[in-house]
Structure formats: C-alpha cells, structure tokens
Structure 1
Amino acid sequence: MTEMVEELFKPQEEEWLCNSNEAVTIWFFEPSTDPDQEFDYAQVSPTFTYSIFGDKEQIYGYKNLEIVLKFASGSLATYFDVQYTEKIPDVSSKSIADDVIDKIKELIPNDYITNYDIFLKSVNDDAYHFKPMGEKITEYRLEEDEDEDIVYEIYKATFETPRFKEYHRRFQIMVLFYIEAATYIDEDEKWETMLLFEKKRIGDKHIYGFVGFCSMYNYYFYNREKNVSTENNINDKVPNLVCVNEGKIIPEDIRLRISQFLIFPHFQGKGHGSKLYQTIYQYVLSNSRIKELAVEIPNESFEAIRDKNDLQYLREHKVFEGLVAPVDKKIIDSIRRNYKLNKRQLLRCLEIELLRKLNKTDAAAYKAYRLQVKERLYNWNKEILKDVDRSERIGKLEETFKGLIEEYHEIILKYNW
C-alpha cells in the first residue's frame, strides 16, 4: 500500500531539476557615483558549481530556484538567500530536495547576512570604512580611466596579516565558482596572496572594490649548485634552510608557485590580469630568496597572460637576442637562473621567439629548430614514450610538434610580434 501511494504522488523528475550554474546569482554592490541612485551593482553567474552540487551541476527538488549571494564590493560583507516558487513534497526518501542552504553555508563564514536592509546598510557603511590589508606593492591606472579618478592598488598579505584571514574566508568561495578543479587552501603561513583593489572617489571620499587576487605558495627550492656545509651548523643536516624565530625552520631558497589566480568577471577584459601578473613577476625578481616562479596546472586563459607577459619582458630585455637553434644548455640554464622562470616556461618562450625570427626557407636552420623542440618534447614525455616502438614514437612526436608550432604561430599573430 505504501509503495502504491509513493508511486501515485511521485512527480516527474525533470520538472524538479535545475542547472546549478543558472540557479546561483552573484552580485557586487557599492554606493553609486550617480547622485540619482543609491547603489551600483554588477551581477554575474558562476562558471562552475560541480564542486558544490555534483558533477552534473544539477539541483533537485525546486521550481524557479534562485540562490542569491550578494557582496559589498570592498569588504565582501555577504548577503545569502534562497528563493523558489515550489519545493517537492517529501513523499519518499527518494524525492527529498537537495539541501542547498546547508551546502552554501558550509562554504561561507558564519557572519553572512539574511536581512536585505541590513546588508544594504553594510554596503554603505563598509564602503567608507573598509581599507585593504597587507603591504601595498604598487598601483596603476588604465588608459580608459584617465579622465576618471580611479586607481588600482595591489597589496601583499599572508594569513598572519591582520584582518586577512577573515577576509579570505569571505572571498574563497569564488575559487569554486571560477577556477576549474579548485579547492579551498589551508590557512598555512607559507601562503602569500596578492590582492587587487579598485580605488575611486565618491564625493570627498575614496571607496575600494575588490578586483581579484593571486594565491602563491612558498616551496623549498633545491639548489644543486649551492654548498652550505658548515661545521656545527643546523644547515649541515637541512641544506639551504635557515633557522628563524621560535625555532621555526623556513626555506632560504624558495620556489614560489602560483596556485589560484582570478580576476572577477565584471573586471575581466581590461588588462588587470596582466597588471597583476607583472606585479608578481617583479616581486619575484626583486626578492633574492625566490629562485623560481612556477605555476600549478595553468588553464588556457592564465597561460595566455603568462606567455604574453613573460615574452614581452624577455624581449624588452633582449634576453634572446642573437640566439639560434640549437641553443646551448648552459645558456638556457643561465637565463633561467637570472630571470627565475621555471625551465618549461623558459623553453616555451625561447621556442616562440626562435620561431618568430626563423627563416623557414633555410632548411638547415628549420631542421635545427625542429630537432631542438622535439628533443624537449621527448624529454618531457619520456616516461610515456619509452615503451612505444620507434616508428610510432616518431609519429607522435611529429604530430605534437606540428600542433605546438600552430599554437606558437597563433600567439605570434595575436600580439603582432
């Protein structure tokens, strides 16, 4: 009898399903520069929600579901609400609606706001009191903002920086929405974060809006060339390490690895990504303890920023001037040490620049270039290719080489180099 009742009241599955990317709406609020309206806002949608709602990015059990997250643009004071027109009746254990409220609550700090009027008051109050945290590194303007009183400021913070830990807990949900396969990071002292803010004038005051950030981790850099063996020294047992306060041992030589890099959607396409990356790279070059800048599995959009700016810097400093394939490995290692790029990225930039200058009608020069690139491709994929028979290996390398050259040509044409 119970089964008959459940079947009788069982709704059609599809009508209770919705796409979670469409259900979530994200808003950024700030006081308006227009005297005729109180607030300006930007509304955006997430790119990913699978880490919250599952691989299919679907939510079950609601009609016209809207999951609302609104942020004060500077302080990121958070308003959270869930709205829907109908929720599925709990006629069986199989028809229970997904608990969207708890899923989001687990990912945001407990100080979120549920009263909309209180949130709007926070937007107004916070705008005139919120100031960035950490050490100011640089500032810049955009050409399009020259006639407006807008400047962008970049700060460096760690989890030991006052107010940063609480601030990070407010914005970390964005990595789930916009960085594929991202997860929350531990509040570890080895993390450093670059924070990018927009600063603009309203009346006789300035307000800040959060533009984006980059999280970086300090790894130990093993320097084979450095010998620090000294009698009765702690470093005899732990090479390239230095003892600091309270007995903590931290790396003397660092590989700084970019983990999360995000410009919020409503600020994208204006050059902020390049400005933030350039600031990070200059910070790396100026810090004697940092020996290498690396990146954790870059996506296509970040790789484009990285390629453009690394190549531009190396070309401006004439690093590759006079080089032709095959380039001596000692020269490559010297450049890598001086400019602190990891070997893979340096070779990628070198290959693009050599291709740009290559006379393709010179058969010998083109062969030397092709062999250098293929050698690098083979070395990078040696474990995969070592068990492949010779003819197949040659074919796979040639196919990979052609695809890479096509990609390089697109980069050269894109930036008119």
Structure 2
Amino acid sequence: MAGIIHSALEQYKCDANDVLIFKLVRDVADLGNNEGFRPEMCHQVFGDQESIFGYKDLCIQMYYTAARLNTYLNITYTGKVSPDKNDGLKPDDVIGALSKEIPPGYYTSIDDFSASVAKDATFKPFGELLHTYTVGKEGRERQFEIYRTDIACPGFRDYHSRLQTFILFFIDAASYIDVDDDRWSFYLVFEKYKHDGSVMYATVGYMTVYSYYAYPSRVRPRISQVLILPPFQKQGHGAHLLQTFYNRCYGDSEILDITVEDPSEDFQRLRDFVDARNCMALKSFKPDKLRKGFDEDMVREARTKLKLNRRQIRRVYEILRMKATDHTNKKEYTQFRLDVKRRLNIPFQKNGRDFEKLQKALAPDELSATLSCMTLPQRHQYLEKAFEDTTEVYSRVIERLNMC
C-alpha cells in the first residue's frame, strides 16, 4: 500500500531546473513566444536536491523587462497535493522560497507586468560610458555599450537588487554583496537597439569589483562576480567587459595588480584568453623568449603594463609557451612538458602557496595520504595526469587565440 502511495506522489515531484523559466521581455509581444532560458542551478533556493514537491505539471515563470528588470513571478500547475488527502503532506512554498531572494515590488499580475514594459522606453544606462562595440549575429550588426557606476548613482541600487537575483541561478556558491560598502564598483553591459524609432537598451550582463588596500599606499582590485546572461553568451561580451575594466586600470598608478575571487572554470578560461592576448604584444613574451623559460622580465613587464599578479603571469607564460612550442619537435615539447611539471611538483616540496592551499583544503590525514604517502611512481602518475588536464585547458585558450 505504501508503495502505491509513493508511486502516486511521484507525479507531484519535479526538478526545479526543468520547471523554472526566465524571460527578458523587450515588447509585450515577447510574452507570447516560446523564447526563454533555464537556470544552470537551483540548489541555492530549493536545496541540494533541487527538487520541488507538491505540484503536477509545475511551471515557474520569472520574467524581467529587458532594461529596468522589473520582475514578474508566477507559477502554474494542473494539480496540487492536498494535505487532507495525503496524510498531511503539504506542497512546497515555491513563491515563498523565491520571494526571499528577489526584492519587494515584483509583479504577480501579468497585466500589470505588461503595462510596466512600456517604462523601459525611458531607461538610460547608469554611470559613465567606457566602451562601445558591435557584434555580428544573424546577418546584422548589434551594438553594445559598457558602463561603470557605483551604488550612489540615482536609481542604481534598486536596479542592482533585481539584477543580482540572476547570480543565484548561474553562479555557484553566490551570495549578495554589501552594496553599502563604497569600495564596490560595477561594470554593466547593455545592448543598444531601436524599437519603433526609439533608442532602447537591454541588460546583457555585469561585473562587480572590490578595491582592497595594498600596503603601503596602493590598491588591489579584486573581480568578484561576473555574469553574462544566457541569451548573450558565447558572443564575446565577457572578453569586452574584462578588457574594458583592464583598460581603466592600466593608467592608474595606485593599482598594484588585479586579482580574482574564486574564479569558475569558465571565467578562468576567459581571463586566460584576455591576459594571453594582451601578453602576446609584450616584448618579453615573444616566442623566442618563451622557449628559454619563465623569467623575471616577464613578471616585471606584465605587472607594470598589464597589472597582472605573478601567479597569473606564470599561467599565461605556460599558455603562450605551449602555443609557441612545435609539438612535432620531441626535444622542444619535452622541455615545455618538464617546465610545466616542475611547477606542478611544487606542492610536494612542502613550501609555497600551493602547499599552503592544500593544507587549508585537506585534513592532516588527507594531506599526508595525498603527499607524504605517495610512492615515487604514484607521484609521477599524478604529475602526468595533472599535466594532461592542464594542457587540455590551455589548448582551448590557444584555440581561441588562434581565431583572433
């Protein structure tokens, strides 16, 4: 009997990632099309299992006006668990869970939301225009703009409170920042387009940067959150956004170097591409210099001209040396491989930041098992696997560099 009841209730259970749909609405007509995008994750709202119980054929609608990001939240379903008929089992409070994360003032009436779409016609981007560029897509050129602002800009605080809701669904381990700290700055990407003869804007993505103090009298900006919304991904916007931020830093003598807070694999790959592309123009990173090995000239030039930190400079060096290496030349490729493996072997030397990072990440017995108890063949096997994984990542960056 219990099995029958369990089977009957399975129809009321669903994966939150499958039933939540986002939509950026530029025109009321957009409400009637099938365009939209799904979240990459929902565990930060609906728990580790990312499941929702209590509804049959559930659909969660989170719609945003494209410019102001005024929000509409609604759920639909064809059936719902009744506590009276299901031993007191209650459906999950979907709206309650989402309303804790999105700012007050969202719409629950589709008619009211539809009326708000027209307000986007008067929207103007926040802050200072830093960069304009075009992207060719579907046989036409689309125009984009990047702005820098801070939380004091009129109207931006409310806009940002709506914009940041996306990070819960697209950035793992994301959390909302303390916008009252004036050391935060914001870089925003908008598409600029015409609709019915009027100039309009649509939100594309954004980046947050925090300025840390660097002894004795300088600052160290740290990139925190970076998000390009799914409809605009794989179009080069991330590279434009990062390079625009870099360009603003280059001429600032107070900036020591640029860091990144816990970069995702996707962002690290983007960072590698932009940094490698910039370093290719430096004298110390020319192919003949790269083949001689990593040196302090590279560190000095990349830090002085590009504000890169030493760890990232070393990483870019390896990418560009791999690019400059003739893989059919056994001696040349062996020298490259040994150079990378020497760096990968550093944690085993029980010194440096890599070993310290392992100490923090692993319990003492785990660290001992990982390092001290490894036999020499096991260490060689580990290093070979690490080298293969590293060069696989590098090859994707090099592939993109070759397309420039």
The residue number in structure 2 matching 1:344 is 311
| Residues 413/132 of structure 1: CA separation in 2 closer, same or farther (3 Å cut) | closer
Question: 44-53 vs 405-414, which deviates more?
Answer: 405-414
Pick one of 70, 94, 107 that aligns with 1:113: 107
> How far did residue 128 of structure 1 move?
1.3
Other structure's SS at 2:189 match: strand
The residue number in structure 2 matching 1:331 is 297
- Residue pair 1:30, 1:40 contacting (<8 A) in 2 also: no
Task: Tell me, in whole angstroms, the C-alpha distance in 1 between the residues paired with 2:243 and 2:337.
Answer: 31
- Residue pair 2:290, 2:320 contacting (<8 A) in 1 also: no
Deviation string 1:247-288 (CA, Å, 9 cap, x unpaired) is: xxxxxx222222211111111122212211211221221322
Pick one of 31, 55, 61 that aligns with 1:62: 55
Task: Tell me, in whole angstroms, the C-alpha distance in 2 between the residues paired with 1:88 and 1:413.
Answer: 52
- Residue pair 1:25, 1:46 contacting (<8 A) in 2 also: yes
Task: Tell me, in whole angstroms, the C-alpha distance in 2 between the residues paired with 1:409 and 1:295.
Answer: 22
The residue number in structure 2 matching 1:312 is 277
> How far did residue 409 of structure 1 move?
3.6
What is the one-letter code of the residue matched to 2:355? K
The residue number in structure 1 matching 2:364 is none
The residue number in structure 2 matching 1:398 is 384
The residue number in structure 2 matching 1:169 is 161
- Taking the TM superposition and a 5 Å limit, the aligned residue runs for 1:144-293 are 144=137, 150-187=142-179, 188-222=181-215, 239-240=216-217, 253-293=218-258
- Residue pair 1:31, 1:40 contacting (<8 A) in 2 also: no
> How far did residue 378 of structure 1 move?
2.7
What is the one-letter code of the residue matched to 2:297? I
Task: Tell me, in whole angstroms, the C-alpha distance in 2 between the residues paired with 1:60 and 1:90.
Answer: 12
Other structure's SS at 1:139 match: strand
Q: C-alpha root-mean-square deviation of aligned residues, in Å? A: 2.9
The residue number in structure 1 matching 2:355 is 382
Q: Number of residue pairs matched?
A: 379
- Residue pair 1:31, 1:127 contacting (<8 A) in 2 also: no
The residue number in structure 2 matching 1:96 is 90
The residue number in structure 2 matching 1:236 is none
- Taking the TM superposition and a 5 Å limit, the aligned residue runs for 1:77-88 are 77-88=70-81
Task: Tell me, in whole angstroms, the C-alpha distance in 1 between the residues paired with 2:382 and 2:30.
Answer: 61
Deviation string 1:260-317 (CA, Å, 9 cap, x unpaired) is: 1111111112221221121122122132222222222222322222222211121134
What are structure 2's unaligned runs of at least 5 residues? 348-353, 359-369
| Residues 123/369 of structure 1: CA separation in 2 closer, same or farther (3 Å cut) | same
| Residues 169/333 of structure 1: CA separation in 2 closer, same or farther (3 Å cut) | same
> How far did residue 123 of structure 1 move?
0.3
What is the one-letter code of the residue matched to 1:27? K
Task: Tell me, in whole angstroms, the C-alpha distance in 2 between the residues paired with 1:300 and 1:179.
Answer: 11
Other structure's SS at 2:8 match: coil
> How far did residue 102 of structure 1 move?
0.7
Deviation string 1:343-368 (CA, Å, 9 cap, x unpaired) is: 22211111121122234566665554
Task: Tell me, in whole angstroms, the C-alpha distance in 2 between the residues paired with 1:87 and 1:337.
Answer: 60
Task: Tell me, in whole angstroms, the C-alpha distance in 2 between the residues paired with 1:333 and 1:50.
Answer: 41
Deviation string 1:352-400 (CA, Å, 9 cap, x unpaired) is: 2112223456666555434432232233543557634561434422332
Pick one of 8, 21, 26 that aligns with 1:12: 8
Task: Tell me, in whole angstroms, the C-alpha distance in 2 between the residues paired with 1:361 and 1:113.
Answer: 62
Structure with bigger gyration radius: 1
Identity level (%): 33
The residue number in structure 1 matching 2:393 is 407
Other structure's SS at 1:344 match: helix
The residue number in structure 1 matching 2:339 is 372
| Residues 335/58 of structure 1: CA separation in 2 closer, same or farther (3 Å cut) | same
> How far did residue 143 of structure 1 move?
3.5
Question: 205-214 vs 368-377, which deviates more?
Answer: 368-377
Task: Tell me, in whole angstroms, the C-alpha distance in 1 between the residues paired with 2:255 and 2:69.
Answer: 32
What is the one-letter code of the residue matched to 1:158? D
Deviation string 1:306-333 (CA, Å, 9 cap, x unpaired) is: 2222111211344402414554542233
| Residues 67/361 of structure 1: CA separation in 2 closer, same or farther (3 Å cut) | closer
Question: 210-219 vs 321-330, which deviates more?
Answer: 321-330
Task: Tell me, in whole angstroms, the C-alpha distance in 1 between the residues paired with 2:4 and 2:322.
Answer: 69
- Residue pair 2:279, 2:302 contacting (<8 A) in 1 also: no
Other structure's SS at 1:44 match: coil
- Residue pair 1:200, 1:207 contacting (<8 A) in 2 also: yes
What is the one-letter code of the residue matched to 2:173? A
Task: Tell me, in whole angstroms, the C-alpha distance in 1 between the residues paired with 2:392 and 2:233.
Answer: 27
What is the one-letter code of the residue matched to 1:162? P
Task: Tell me, in whole angstroms, the C-alpha distance in 2 between the residues paired with 1:162 and 1:58.
Answer: 39
> How far did residue 174 of structure 1 move?
0.5
Other structure's SS at 1:95 match: coil
Deviation string 1:203-247 (CA, Å, 9 cap, x unpaired) is: 33211100111112212234xxxxxxxxxxxxxxxx32xxxxxxx
Task: Tell me, in whole angstroms, the C-alpha distance in 2 between the residues paired with 1:198 and 1:137.
Answer: 14
| Residues 355/7 of structure 1: CA separation in 2 closer, same or farther (3 Å cut) | closer
Deviation string 1:38-77 (CA, Å, 9 cap, x unpaired) is: 8797411111111111111100111111111111100011
Other structure's SS at 2:130 match: strand
TM-score scaled to structure 2, two decimals?
Answer: 0.84
